[in-house]
Structure 1
């Protein structure tokens, strides 16, 4: 097969050379609300083609590779006073796999436990390519059926405007769930 990044022959969906040279994660921080932060590993412009793979049959392999390079490393270095839940936002399978579930799967450690199928959007609106006004007028209307009175980290694939993460956080607050911060694979860094 060919590397999806450089087109060279490779046994992996993204060759080892591209993984080590082009996909070394950084750590970006953005404040979405007072004292509420989102941390991202990549700038969207550096991953745009790879992120678009979520619409294709091979996207799960791309997201697994990216998650190993970023979310897994984060999990291995994360410590806290007690175990925290890693909660993927709307981990549906509309594209044959859930990119948020793949990312959360790699947040497994003595201090992190991924939990699936508990934060779902009841309004299945597509935000890709939509502006802030559209996103504000068409909320996701999240429903939560998970643990109450706990601490979580929200997981999403791309931080664009922050509307989705803030809406998810608001939904979780109703069940006394404390969102410590959010982790995304990449964000638009302007």
Structure 2
């Protein structure tokens, strides 16, 4: 097989050389609302083609590599006194796998445990290429199940305007959950 990025022969879809030279994550912080932050590992320009792999059968392999390089590495160094639940935003599997579930799973560690199928959008709307006004006029209307009085981290692939993350945070807080922050692979504003 050939590496997707450099096209050299590789046993993996992205070779080790490209992982270390092209996919070394940085750490970006953005205030989503007063006192609440999102942390991203890449700018959108660094990952745009790879993020679109979520629409293809091989996308799970790409997301597993990106999750290992970023979310898993973050979890190995993050410490908190209580147990935290990582919650993927709308972890549907319309394309054979859930890219947000892969990200949340990579956070599993000593005090972070992923929970799946608990935060679902009841309004299935695509935000790709849409502006802030469209996103705010067409909320996802999240439904939350089985999570009460917990400390959580939200997980998504990309932050654009922050509308989805703010809406997901509000859904969790309605059931007395504390949302520490959100994590995304990429930030569209960078």
Does the TM-score normalized on the shorter chain lie above 0.5? yes
Question: TM-score under structure 1 normalisation?
Answer: 0.98
CA distance in 1, matches of 2:147, 2:125: 26
Question: Residue 132 of structure 2 corresponds to which residue in structure 1?
Answer: 132
What's the C-alpha RMSD, in Å, of the aligned pairs?
A: 0.8
* CA offsets 1:94-120 (integer angstroms, 9 cap, x no match): 111110000011101111011100000
Unpaired runs of at least 5, structure 2: none
Question: Residue 23 of structure 2 corresponds to which residue in structure 1?
Answer: 23
Aligned counterparts, 1:21-170, within 5 A: 21-170=21-170
Are the counterparts in 2 of residues 5 and 50 from structure 1 also a CA contact under 8 Å? no
Equivalent residues, number: 190
Question: Residue 14 of structure 1 corresponds to which residue in structure 2?
Answer: 14
Structure 1 segments of 4+ aligned residues over 4 angstroms from their partners: none
Question: Residue 178 of structure 2 corresponds to which residue in structure 1?
Answer: 178
SS at 2:96 equivalent? coil
Unpaired runs of at least 5, structure 1: none
Question: TM-score under structure 2 normalisation?
Answer: 0.98
Are the counterparts in 2 of residues 140 and 164 from structure 1 also a CA contact under 8 Å? yes
